[in-house]
Amino acid sequence: MAGQGSVLERIDAVDEPFAKPEIESVRQLTATTVVAMETYQGGEFRVLARKEFIKRFRCSVCHTEKPMAARDGALFTHGDIRINHGRAGDALVCAECHHEKERDFLADSQGLKVDFDHSYQLCGKCHFRQKRDWIGGAHGKRETYWAGERVVQNCTGCHNPHSPAFPRKMPETYSLPLDD
Amino acid sequence: MDDKKLKSSPGQKSSRRSFLKGAAALTAAGSAGLLTGGCGGSVSAETMGLQWEEFFKKNYRLMTPEEKQATVDRLERLARIRHDLDIEVSNREPRENVLYGYAFNISRCKGYMDCVEACVRENNLDRRSKTQYIRLFEMDPGQLDPTSGEGRYFHEVPAANKFYMGVQCFHCENAPCIKACPTKATWREPDGIVVVDYDWCIGCRYCLAACPYWGRRFNWGEPEVPLDEINRRQHYLGNRMRMKGVMEKCTFCIQRSREGRLPACAEACPTGSRVFGNLLDPDSEIRFVLKNKKVFRFKEDLGTDPKFWYFMD
């Protein structure tokens, strides 16, 4: 039977990591994942890949040597993008996250190239607290399984990078009062 | 007390002998009803046999592995016969070195209630009485008592200057509901999940009264789920179809968690407010939360030792 002491006593009594491979019902995810360039308290973990969900990837197919006015892009091809990221009245501009020369990559203010699959590296430059929590597991979402190899959502899996705040919407249902 | 009533029915002389006679006849009728399912003689011998064995089976905890498998097979066969439904009832045992724990981020929940809806669908909850294991409340800042919150908010969320707090079964290590049960139909599994043996529950609802967290639900009527919405992946102690007059509750989606999957609520949450994992794994997310975030447990002073923490960023 369970129940040797309180939960906290039981937690404190264990130092060994849980033997992960023993859960046979945990299958490999069908989604594409990449090994994160960070490690969490349990070592290496994986992140859901992003690039295959970007509709017009690779960007360099259009963004060639030919110069293009940023204003035209915002009006035509990328007219669906509304930037609502950054302080009110001082929104970010494309080049603050996207690499100016190599369009298939993101870039931070120091010009460090960041792969779209590893966008947490870029987001974490400003949102370092969220990134720390995301690496540990207090922010973000694990995918499908609590057991087995750790696979988590990328920042962009939940947040629209151009408008990262969650939208307001109607609730799915309602709850009855507790005393009913 | 009932003198008037007895007298007012003429020609009915009630003696001890005739009462016993009547009682015996009733019992006979009752067991006939058990065999036939109460709908005449149209039930096959196989169904009758299955129902008979189901009725006289043991408490789940006293069953041998063979008996557990046998009852699970019977339930699958009965679902096939009665509803032409292929269900898969699991009797997966708890895993070694696993103690499930849950954390809920009150500063990140937006009140969308996707978790509530996912739970209803996953756990085959009664649609007619709108049974829900999870309740979510819109709360004013500074409040931490969900009775002060409003669960019926019919506006876009998140609303300004509000926060959202969900309650469900907290799977206490020292659970008052277990102590209250007179038939030992509810207990805590070695992996920490508090479960109900629906076939052993007599529906007295003592556990409902004992739970300080409003974690338990009672089936006042026969639960109704549209056949095409029934989740066929079931667990004996989890989301298999309940009957009228029994207690049910959140089981951390035992049919999922014991397979290594996240509970439906944690998987459905679009904001990542729900963290689920193994408390005995020092590397797990839940342990990270307990170690690094501001956490509290609801009504901790009661000594119920729940395995459900609230935390904030």
pLDDT single digits (tens) B41-64: 578 899 999 999 999 999 999 999
* Residue A170 reports pLDDT greater than 70: yes
Residues B161 and B75 reside in one and the same domain? no
B161 in a structural domain: yes
pLDDT of residue A72: 81
B25 in a structural domain: no
- Tell me the per-residue pLDDT of B248-259, one tens digit each, with 9 for 90 and over: 999 999 999 999
pLDDT of residue B56: 94
pLDDT level of residue B7 (50, 70, 90 thresholds): very low
- Tell me the per-residue pLDDT of B117-175, one tens digit each, with 9 for 90 and over: 999 999 999 999 999 999 999 999 998 889 899 999 999 999 999 999 999 999 999 99
Tokens found for residue A40:
């969490």
pLDDT of residue B34: 52
Binary contact (A171, B130; C-beta < 8 A): no
pLDDT level of residue B19 (50, 70, 90 thresholds): low
Cβ neighbours of A31 in B, within 8 Å: none
Residues B177 and B131 reside in one and the same domain? yes
Q: For residues A17 and A149, is the Cβ–Cβ distance under 8 A?
A: no
* Residue B303 reports pLDDT greater than 70: yes
Residues B147 and B201 reside in one and the same domain? yes
B109 in a structural domain: yes
Q: For residues A169 and B156, is the Cβ–Cβ distance under 8 A?
A: yes
Q: How many angstroms away from the CA of A68 is the closest CA of chain B? A: 37
pLDDT level of residue B178 (50, 70, 90 thresholds): very high
Q: Which residue on chain A is closest to B167 by alpha carbon?
A: A178
Residues B78 and B121 reside in one and the same domain? no
Q: Calculate what percentage of chain B has a pLDDT beyond 70.
A: 87
Dihedral over Cα of B193, B194, B196, B200: its sign? positive
Q: Calculate what percentage of chain A has a pLDDT beyond 90.
A: 49
Cβ neighbours of B294 in A, within 8 Å: none
Tokens found for residue B9:
């029915």
- Per-residue 3-state assignment (H helix, E strand, C coil) for chain A: CCCCCCHHHHHHCCCCCCCHHHCCCCCCCCCCEEEEEEEECCEEEEEECCHHHCCCCCHHHCCCCCCCCHHHHHHCCCCCCCCCCEECCEECCHHHCECCCCCCCEECCCCCEECHHHCHHHHHHHCHHHHHHHHHCCCCCECCECCCCCEECCHHHHCECCECCCCCECCCCCCCCCCC
pLDDT of residue B18: 54
Tokens found for residue B250:
């959140």
Residues B75 and B192 reside in one and the same domain? no
Residues B72 and B216 reside in one and the same domain? no
Mutate to test the interface with B, among A172, A176, A180 (most CBs of B within 10 A): A172
pLDDT of residue B41: 58
Dihedral over Cα of B58, B64, B68, B74: its sign? negative
Q: Any idea what the CATH number is for the domain that residue B141 is in?
A: 3.30.70.20
Q: How many angstroms away from the CA of B3 is the closest CA of chain A? A: 38
Residues B82 and B156 reside in one and the same domain? no
pLDDT level of residue B6 (50, 70, 90 thresholds): very low
Mutate to test the interface with A, among B98, B284, B285, B301 (most CBs of A within 10 A): B285
Q: Which of B61, B86, B111 is the last residue of a domain?
A: B86
Tokens found for residue B92:
């997966």
Residues B274 and B239 reside in one and the same domain? yes
B94 in a structural domain: no
Q: Which residues of B286-310 are buried (b: 16+ CB within 10 A; e: fewer)?
A: bbbbbeebeeebbeeeeebbbbbbb
* Residue B1 reports pLDDT greater than 60: no
Cβ neighbours of B269 in A, within 8 Å: 141
On average, the pLDDT of chain B sits at 88
pLDDT of residue A22: 65
pLDDT of residue A180: 60
pLDDT level of residue B20 (50, 70, 90 thresholds): low
Residues B152 and B290 reside in one and the same domain? yes
Higher-confidence residue: A89 or B148? B148
For residue A44, the cross-strand partners are A39
Average of per-residue pLDDT across A29-37: 91
pLDDT level of residue A73 (50, 70, 90 thresholds): confident
Binary contact (A137, B153; C-beta < 8 A): no
Q: Which residue on chain B is closest to A29 by alpha carbon?
A: B261
pLDDT of residue B60: 95
Q: Which of B86, B119, B142 is the last residue of a domain?
A: B86
Through-space distance between the first and last CA atoms of chain B, rounded to whole angstroms: 64
Binary contact (B262, A133; C-beta < 8 A): no
* Residue A27 reports pLDDT greater than 90: no
Q: For the purposes of burial, counting CB atoms within 10 Å of the CB of A38, is it exposed (0-12), middle (13-18) or buried (19 or more)?
A: middle
- Tell me the per-residue pLDDT of A116-164, one tens digit each, with 9 for 90 and over: 999 999 999 999 999 999 999 999 999 989 998 899 999 999 999 999 9
Average of per-residue pLDDT across B291-301: 94
- Tell me the per-residue pLDDT of B69-114, one tens digit each, with 9 for 90 and over: 999 999 999 999 999 999 999 999 999 889 999 999 999 999 999 9
Judged by average pLDDT, the poorest of A15-24, A49-58, A72-81, B263-272 is A15-24
Average of per-residue pLDDT across B195-210: 96
B12 in a structural domain: no
Sheet containing A43-48, strands listed edge to edge, beginning at the edge strand earlier in sequence: A33-40, A43-48, A151-152
B10 in a structural domain: no
* Residue B5 reports pLDDT greater than 60: no
Among the partner-chain residues A22, A139, A172, the one whose CB lies closest to the CB of B117 is A172
Q: For residues B271 and B108, is the Cβ–Cβ distance under 8 A?
A: yes
Among the partner-chain residues B105, B260, B280, the one whose CB lies closest to the CB of A146 is B260
On average, the pLDDT of chain A sits at 88
Closest alpha carbon to B94 in B61, B121, B141: B61
Query: CA–CA separation, B212 vs A94, rounded Å?
Result: 52
Q: Which of B86, B110, B138 is the last residue of a domain?
A: B86
B115 in a structural domain: yes
Q: How many angstroms away from the CA of B96 is the closest CA of chain A? A: 9
pLDDT of residue B10: 42
Q: For residues A158 and A140, is the Cβ–Cβ distance under 8 A?
A: yes
Number of domains in chain B: 2
Mutate to test the interface with A, among B121, B139, B173 (most CBs of A within 10 A): B173
Cβ neighbours of A176 in B, within 8 Å: 130, 132, 135, 151-152
DSSP string, chain B: --HHHHHHSTT----HHHHHHHHHHHHHHHHHHHHHTTSTT-S-HHHHHHHHHHHT---GGG--HHHHHHHHHHHHHHHHHHH----EEE-PPPPTT--EEEEEETTT-----HHHHHHHHHTT--TTTT--S-EEEEE-TT---GGGSBS---S-BSPTT-EEEEE-----TT-HHHHH-TT--EEE-TTS-EEE-TTT-----HHHHH-TT--EEE-SS-----GGG---EEETTTTSPP-TT-EEE--S-HHHHTTTBPPHHHHH-SS--EEEEETT-TTSHHHHHHHHSEEE-TTGGG----SEEEEE-
pLDDT of residue B17: 56
Among the partner-chain residues B158, B192, B260, the one whose CB lies closest to the CB of A2 is B192
Query: What number of C-beta contacts closer than 8 Å exist between A and B?
Result: 180
B93 in a structural domain: no
Binary contact (B99, A2; C-beta < 8 A): yes
Tokens found for residue B71:
């009852």
Q: How many angstroms away from the CA of B118 is the closest CA of chain A? A: 10
Cβ neighbours of A136 in B, within 8 Å: 285, 288-289, 292
Domain with B82, as residue range(s), is 44-86
Q: How many angstroms away from the CA of A133 is the closest CA of chain B? A: 9
Contacts of A31 (CB under 8 A, 6+ apart): A48, A49, A143
Residues B78 and B225 reside in one and the same domain? no
* Residue B234 reports pLDDT greater than 90: yes
Binary contact (B260, A147; C-beta < 8 A): yes
Residues B247 and B129 reside in one and the same domain? yes
Residues B290 and B154 reside in one and the same domain? yes
